[in-house]
Amino acid sequence: MNPAGKLVNDHFTVVYTPVKQTVAVDYDTSNLNETQTSQVKAPTTATITGKTDALNATAAGDTTVKAVPGYTFTVTDASGKPVVENSEKNFDLTKVPGQFAVNANESLKNSSYNVVYTPELQQQTVNVTFPASANRSNETGTVVNKSVTGQNFTVTDLSSYNVDGYTMLVDGTPATSIAAEATDTTANGLNKTDSKPQLHTVTFVANTDQKARLTFVNDPKQRDQITKNDGESDTTINFGTTTADLAVPGYSYVITDASGNTYKSIDDFVYKAKEADLQDYTVTYTAEPVTVAVHFDTTMLTKEQQATVNVTDGEISGKTDADYTTAQGQTTVPAVPGYTFTVTNAAGKAVAQNATSDFDLTTVSGAFTVNPDGTPKNDHFTVVYTPVEQVVTVNTDTTGLNATQKAQVNVPATATITGKTDALNTTATGATTVKAVPGYTFTVTDAAGHKMVENSEANFDLTTVPGQFAVNPDGTLQNPSYTVGYTPEVQQQTVNVTFPTSANRANETGTVVNTTVTGQDFTATDLSNYNVDGYTMLVDGVKTTTIKPEATDTTANGTSTTDGVPQVHNVTFVANTDQKATLTFVNDPKHRQPIVETTGTSDTTISFGTKTVDLAVPGYSYVITDAAGKTYTSIDEFVYTAKEADSQDYTVTYTPAVQQQTVTVTFPKATARPNIVGQVTQTSTTGVDFATVDLTKYAVPGYTMLVDGRPATSIAPEATDTTPNGLATVDNAPQGHHVTFVANDAKAQIVVIDDTTGATLRVDDVQGVTDGEVVYNSPATIKRYEAMGYVLVSDGFIAGTHYDAIADATRDSQVFEIHLKHDTVDGTGKTQTIVRHTTIKTPDGKVVTVEQVVTVTPHFSVDRVTGERVPDAAVTDKTKYAHAEMPWLETHNRTARTVVSEIKINGQTGETDFGDVQVANVPGYKLVRTNEPNGDQVVTFVATATAPATPHESVKASMTTESTPTVVTVLQPTPSVPVVTSAAPALVSQAPASQAVITSASAVNVTPTTSAPLAPITVPDVAVIHDTVVGGDEGLWIHEIPDDKDGDVSDLQNLHDTNVMTNDPYFVALLFATLVAAGMFGVLMAFYRRREATERKLAARRDDGD
């Protein structure tokens, strides 16, 4: 309530919005070939859209079904009902009556249209123009082939049009067929003829290889045979001569062909078209006799009478002055039945009169006398024929007619017509008209049975019959009579039948149900075959199933088998009102009783008093079936069937809907397990509860499972909902549960271990959650211990490590170790000075004492952690100490440079073994050395037999001026322990690896008899580091040395170039002499000492892995 005491929300508003509906437009081209499919160019499927229940007129999308030239199309809706049939024009689907209506299940009542294109008839025709000689009528538009749009015409054979002597041209090209060709796309609809057929023209061209010959026989002029070989069919033969040229006075001639046919002229001969014809002509001459013409004067006769008399002027011949009794030729004047004749000579005298039998001219008195000019005196006889009168009877035959028909015909049984012999029938007089009778045809036959007119429906005039009053040889008429027969015409009874829609029968118009003839009544006609169940038949509005007998009318139908104006009856139907239907409910949650209807009208909607919408029960589906088991989606459109025997029992059977339970599992990403979405765990039906579902199979180590947000490992039992899923086997709104996971607490340890002592220096505990990152700064820990003198051995902790899934309640599953060892520094012991004296007593009595002085300083490694010396036994154990070196002794020879001797020093104990000082021999004396208990030595000379009383001066000089170096050797008990010896100044010679030689460059003031040789001045090689030479002639490979602690590497590099030269003994000797002379021998010794120390340190670091 608001402060005013009124409801804050005083109403709700509900707005319904129609949803978008989509109707598929399917184009079915399965009946078309590839060419037709390409012409139609229809998509497989298109769509139109609209809103629920919106009129089709509002549809959008592909609403136009396009017309294709040469095709019709039919559109049907989803029920198969035609929307448009055999259309040749674009069709707009928005014009279809109706709307986007939906069923109760929300599906469209009409979910699709189906479009089928049908190719139309296409025809191929010819216009044929024949040559005149073919005696064939030209043809125009003759159909010679048929097909449909998009289906090519096959080859069309035109050989039946071939004409002998001519070559056929099809469209101007020699051929006897039309090649296969594609059809055009003329729009012919359902017509059975093509309005624009594909026309071809057939013509002929005459051949030019015809032959003909003209041969002369008994020719007084002796002319040669004439031959032609290049004649053109149906053209006049030109032999190069004319008929006029054939005449020869006193002779007659005959023109014949190879078959014996005679001709009067050669001017009109024509080349025949048939190649097989033999056109050979012959002109035969015969001498002319004296002749007398016999002339038949028929000018007073009609042409028909002339044809019957059929006489031709002739002649008789013979020798001049010979009696007519010798006459040859047409000596007989024939008698003609139905005629008399008279014969007169050239003077007009009758030699026979009104004769009715043959007359012989050889019986006439006289002879073949001629005039002076050679012509006969009686040059002709004239014969004149006269016709006699004839009578023909006309009889009417009604024996085949019944009394009614005879009364309708009503004509006399006999009549007559008259005329002259051979006069045309048009001249006939008397009963010349045969009368027509309505509803009858008549036929007139002559005496021979020939039909003069047949099945006539109009008055017939006998004077129009072709012919004449002809007679037989015996003088009787050839057609003495006519017979007239009347025939009643067909009369029919038809019906127009209008069926009710439920009959599923096409209405009938003008169906013939009875047939008879004029004057013979129709019998009763049974129409029971038109009965429709559920309906009563009405014939012409009267309840009956027959047409009563009735008289025929007299429609003039001629010989047609159908009546042009039949006697029509109308058949209609009225629906019965006693139809029954039942609606029964099975497993109905509402327990409704059966509904029975008993007064239904055929083909009307059944009203059960309830609607399909009332059938729905939440959580249940139902099926509507009829007695035959057929299923339906609605009861609202049931219709009373017309058949009384139909059982219109419908049943609504209810089934609880399927209900499902699903689970969606979202696994932790770290498990890399695919999530499960909507997996069905149980399937039940409305009202049957779901059981417990165990989910432990989805458990993830290190995580706690949450079901719908609460810790659990199963789904508890629960009741099903009532989702309306119909008959579907899948729940469209299942009861879903969501399984997720929360990470458990986890921990880890980082242990710092002193590998030198084995002690644990530190333990750090860290905490987090399963699969979370372990956060620890090991570099900081290591740095702290390095400051204490430790060196890292290994860091077992890797940044980015995640906690595992193992529970840490009883033990730590993840322990990371950092291992350290002690670092070392160089340490120095107390320097010891060792002195040895050598006393030399020369033969001349002088005593020289030579002092050999060596200082020894021990070097060793000191532990940076403890500050104590590294035990010698552990120096080489790199797992415990870093940078440790073998103990070594640093020695310095303090002996004067003039002393030459070898000094051996024990590299481990520092004990020194002084070698003998080199003393020059004295000729004639033996050198004797005597060692004193304290280590000193005395050198004396014992004279030999050859010894001079005093030394030669030259010897003295040598003893005092020759420089004799002292050689000091330091013994190294093990090659692995480096020892550095030095003398100031000294050169290190190239000696075995177990010793180093230091040679003094100063001479002893002894006078030897011979000069002592100088020891070789060489430089030792640098040790091998990791099997790689770092000194010597090959040069130092600085890149093999890991670092430059204390500047050692740069020192060694600076020394390298000098090293290369000092390995050359000749260069060394020259350098040696030069430096001695310059007083700079100590510089060279310092160089060698410095290089040796640097190399030793680098080698040691290599061995330590530095």
What stretch of H or E contains 835?
strand 832-841
Q: What is the pLDDT of residue 1043?
A: 43
Could you give the number of structural domains in the chain?
A: 11
Residues 261, 281: Cα–Cα separation, whole Å: 9
Residues in CB range of 805: below 8 A, 6 or more apart: 700, 701, 702, 703, 746, 770, 771
Predicted confidence (pLDDT) per residue in 753-764, tens digit = 999 999 999 999
Environment class of 379 (CB within 10 Å of its CB; exposed 0-12, middle 13-18, buried 19+): middle
SS3 call for 618: coil
Per-residue pLDDT at 738 exceeds 80: yes
From residue 385, give the alpha-carbon distance in Å to each of 248, 284, 299, 475, 757: 36, 36, 10, 15, 176
Mean per-residue pLDDT for 1009-1033?
31
What pLDDT sits at residue 949? 52
Pair 990, 864 in one domain = yes
Contact 308, 468 (CB under 8 A): yes
How many CA atoms does the CB half-sphere of 884 hold within 13 Å?
A: 27
**pLDDT band, very low/low/confident/very high, at 323 (cuts 50, 70, 90):** confident
Contact 35, 51 (CB under 8 A): no
* Separation between Cα atoms, residue 1031 and residue 1048, nearest integer Å: 14
What pLDDT score was predicted for residue 807? 83
> How do beta strands 832-841 and 847-863 pair?
antiparallel
Question: Is the Cβ–Cβ distance between 995 and 969 less than 8 Å?
Answer: yes
- Exposed, middle or buried, 26 (CB in 10 Å: 0-12/13-18/19+)? middle
Please check whether residue 5 lies inside any domain of the structure. Answer: no
- The secondary structure of 210-227, three-state, reads EEEEEEEECCCCCCCCEE
Mean pLDDT of 558-587: 92
Position 871 pLDDT exceeds 90: yes
∠ at Cα 951 (948, 952), nearest 5°? 100
DSSP secondary structure letter of residue 109: S
The CATH number of residue 638's host domain is 3.10.20
For the chain, give the percent of residues with pLDDT over 90: 59
> Rounded to the nearest 10 degrees, what angle do helices 1048-1062 and 1081-1103 cross at?
130
**Residue 687 reports pLDDT greater than 90:** no
Do 850 and 786 share a structural domain?
no
Residue 399 lies in a domain: yes
Min mean pLDDT across 540-554, 785-799, 947-961, 1079-1093 is at: 947-961
Q: What is the CATH number of the domain that holds 768?
A: 3.10.20.470
Top-confidence residue, 406 or 320: 406
Question: Which phi and psi angles does 663 have, rounded to 5°?
Answer: -130, 140
Positive/negative CA dihedral, 87, 90, 94, 99: positive
CA pair distance 657, 919, nearest whole angstrom:
128
Tell me the C-alpha distance between 1078 and 1065, whole Å. 20
Report pLDDT digits (tens) over 454-479.
999 999 999 999 989 999 988 899 99
Q: Say if residues 405 and 487 touch (Cβ distance below 8 Å).
A: no
Q: Return the bridge partners of 740, or none.
A: 706
Number of Cβ within 10 Å of residue 409's Cβ equals 19
Are residues 451 and 400 located together in one domain of the fold? Answer: yes
State the Cα–Cα distance between residues 110 and 78, nearest whole angstrom: 5
Q: 533 falls in which pLDDT band (50, 70, 90)?
A: confident
Residue 602 has pLDDT above 90, yes or no: no
What local confidence, expressed as pLDDT, does residue 920 receive? Answer: 87
Question: pLDDT confidence of 1003, banded at 50, 70, 90?
Answer: very low
Whether residue 448 is found in the same domain as residue 498: no
365-395 tens-digit pLDDT = 988 776 776 678 889 999 999 998 899 999 9
Whether this prediction's pTM lies above 0.75 is answered by no
By the 8 A CB rule, do 603 and 640 touch? yes
- 1105 in a structural domain: yes
d(CA 616, CA 601) in angstroms, rounded, equals 28
Whether the pLDDT of residue 276 is over 80: the answer is no
Whether 780 has a pLDDT exceeding 90, the answer reads: yes
Name the more confident of 990 and 291: 291
SS3 727: coil
3-state SS string for 1029-1089? CCCCCCCCCHHHCCCCHHHHHHHHHHHHHHHHHHCCHHHHHHHHHHHHHCCCHHHHHHHHH
DSSP 67: -
Res. 984: pLDDT tops 90:
no
Q: Which string of DSSP letters, residue by residue, matches 707-725?
A: ETTEE-SEEPPB-------
Residue 10: inside a domain: no
Let me know if residue 6 belongs to a domain. no
Is residue 26 a contact partner of residue 112, using CB atoms and an 8 Å limit? Answer: yes
Q: Report phi then psi at 234, rounded to 5.
A: 65, 20
The last residue of one of the domains, among 103, 119, 135, is: 119
Question: Is the domain of 361 the same as that of 232?
Answer: no
C-beta of residue 175 within 8 angstroms of C-beta of residue 202: no
Mean residue pLDDT across the chain: 84
In sequence order, what DSSP letters do the residues of 379-398 get, joined into one string? -EEEEEEEE-EEEEEEEEE-
Contacts for 227 with CB less than 8 Å, ≥ 6 apart: 211, 212, 213
Model confidence band, residue 766 (pLDDT cutoffs 50, 70, 90):
very high
Token digits of residue 386: 């006269």
Q: Is residue 14 domain-resident? A: no
Cβ neighbours, 10 Å, residue 150 = 24
One-character DSSP codes across 751-764: EEEETTTTEEEEEE
| Position 303 pLDDT exceeds 90 | no
- Which pLDDT value is given to residue 644? 63
What is the β-pairing status of strands 658-665 and 735-743?
A: parallel
Strand ranges, E, within 152-236: 156-157, 166-170, 173-174, 177-178, 198-206, 210-217, 226-231
For range 13-21, the mean pLDDT: 94
Q: Which among 444, 461, 488 is the end of a domain?
A: 488
Question: Which of 110-124, 240-254, 647-661, 1059-1073 has the lowest average pLDDT?
Answer: 1059-1073
The mean pLDDT value for 1092-1106 works out to 59
Do residues 536 and 626 both lie within one domain? no
Q: What is the pLDDT of residue 829?
A: 87
Amino acid at 99: Q
The answer to whether residues 512 and 569 touch, using CB atoms and an 8 Å cutoff, is no
- Among 544, 575, 606, the domain-final residue is 575
In this prediction, residue 1032 has a pLDDT band, given cuts at 50, 70 and 90, of very low
Mean pLDDT to the nearest integer, 345-372: 88
- Residue among 825, 828, 892 at smallest CA distance from 856: 892
Model confidence at 488: pLDDT above 90: yes
Same domain flag for 472 and 534? no
CA separation, residue 726 to residues 652, 655, 722, 735 (Å): 13, 8, 11, 17
The model's confidence at residue 1016, banded by pLDDT at 50, 70 and 90, is very low
Lowest mean pLDDT among 295-299, 316-320, 817-821: 316-320
* pLDDT at residue 995 greater than cutoff 50: no
Q: Are residues 833 and 976 in the same domain?
A: yes
What average pLDDT does this structure show over 718-737?
90
Is 987 within 8 Å of 1001 (Cβ atoms)? yes
Task: Kindly state whether residue 863 falls inside one of the protein's structural domains.
Answer: yes
| pLDDT band at 185; cut points 50, 70, 90 | very high
Q: How far from chain centre, in Å, is Cα 390?
A: 93
Residues 6+ apart with CB under 8 A from 383: 294, 295, 296, 297, 311, 333, 341, 342, 343
- Contact by Cβ (8 Å): 547, 514: yes
Lowest-pLDDT choice from 578-587, 623-632, 885-894, 953-962: 953-962
Measured CA to CA, the distance from residue 1008 to residue 900 in angstroms comes to: 13
Establish if 54 belongs to a structural domain.
yes
Q: What is the pLDDT confidence band of residue 544, given thresholds at 50, 70 and 90? A: very high
Nearest to residue 770, comparing CAs of 751, 800, 747?
747
- Residue range of the domain that includes 35: 20-119
Q: Is residue 702 domain-shared with residue 805, that is, in the same domain?
A: no
* Residue 431: per-residue pLDDT: 93
| Tokens 């019965």, located at residue | 576
Q: Which of 700, 697, 699 is CA-nearest to residue 670? A: 700
Q: Quick one: 34 and 71 in the same domain?
A: yes
Q: Tell me the pLDDT tens digit for each residue of 28-46.
A: 999 999 999 999 999 999 9
pLDDT per residue over 611-621, tens digit each? 999 999 888 88
* Most confident by average pLDDT, 276-280, 621-625, 985-989: 621-625
Q: What is the pLDDT of residue 902?
A: 79
Same domain, 808 and 833: no
Write the single-letter amino acid at 870.
V
Judge whether residue 1011 has pLDDT over 50. Answer: no
Q: Are residues 853 and 965 in the same domain?
A: yes
> Is residue 1087 predicted with pLDDT exceeding 80?
no
Considering only 242-256, 822-836, 961-975, 1091-1105, which range has the smallest mean pLDDT?
Answer: 961-975
pLDDT of residue 701: 92
CA pair distance 275, 224, nearest whole angstrom? 25
DSSP E strand stretches across 264-407? 280-287, 290-297, 314-318, 328-329, 332-333, 339-345, 350-355, 359-360, 380-387, 389-397
